[in-house]
Amino acid sequence: MGIEEVKCPKCGKSAKVRSYSSINLTEKPKMKKDIIEGKINSAICLKCGSKINLRSHILLSYLEPPKWIWLVSKKHQHPNYQQEFLEKIAPQTTISTFPQQMVFVDFGEPCKGLELILSDSDPKCCEEWLELGKIQSGYDAVESYKSALRIDQRNVEAKKLLNDELDKLKTYT
C-alpha cells in the first residue's frame, strides 16, 4: 500500500489517494468492510466533487486454501473479459492452479453482491442471487439469474437480466 497522487479527470486538481494493487484478506480481514463499502480505490475530488478511481482492477487474495478474486471496474463487464484479462493483462496468473474469480464493481460505491462473496455465504433469496449476478458476467451471471428465477419465477428483473446476459453471450462469442 502507498499514497498515490492522481489528477482529477474533470478539473485537473491533484488528489492523494491510498493505493492498493492487491490486498491479502487472510492477513488483513478487517479490510473486507472497506472493500464492501466501496472505500478502496476511489476518492472524491476536493475541488469539483468528481469521483476519482485509481485502478481498473485490484487483486484480493486468500491463503490456505489459496484463492484469488479480481475486482474489476464495471466498465469492463462483458463475457469475454476474464479470458482477455488472463491472456493479455495478467498472463502470468494463468499458470496458477488455484481458483480465480472475477467480479465487476463500481469502485467508490457499496456493493451487496461483494458482501456475499467476501463473507463466503451462499445467496438465500431471489434478491441476493440478483445482487450476485449483477457483479458477474457470462455464464456465471446466467446461473445466478436462473437461481433467482428458481426461487421466484415471476421476478421481472431476473427475467430481464437473464435475457440481457444471454444476448451479450451471443454478441461476444
Q: Which residues bind Zn ion (CB under 5 A)?
A: 8, 10-11, 13, 45, 47-48, 50
Q: How far is the CB of 17 from Zn ion (least distance, A)?
A: 13
Give the nearest distance from C-beta 47 to Zn ion in angstroms: 5
Please say which residue, 22 or 50, places its beta carbon nearer to Zn ion.
50
Nearer residue to Zn ion within complex by CB, 5 or 64: 5
Distance separating alpha carbons of residues 103 and 133, to the nearest angstrom: 9
Q: Which is nearer to Zn ion, 45 or 103 (CB)?
A: 45
Q: Which amino acid is at 44?
A: I
Considering the complex, what minimum distance in angstroms separates the CB of residue 50 from Zn ion? Answer: 5
Residue 23 CB, shortest distance to Zn ion, in Å, is 26
Selection from 74, 81, 45, 41 nearest residue 58 by Cα: 41
Q: Which sign does the torsion angle of CA 86, 98, 62, 146 carry?
A: positive
Q: Which is nearer to Zn ion, 48 or 125 (CB)?
A: 48
How would you class 160 by CB atoms within 10 Å of its CB: exposed for 0-12, middle for 13-18, buried for 19 or more?
exposed
Distance from C-alpha of 57 to C-alpha of 72, rounded to nearest angstrom:
4
Nearer to Zn ion, 43 or 158 (CB): 43
Q: Give the shortest CB-59-to-Zn ion separation in angstroms.
A: 28
Burial of 163 (0-12, 13-18, 19+ CB in 10 A): exposed
Give dist(CA 83, CA 63) in Å, integer: 23
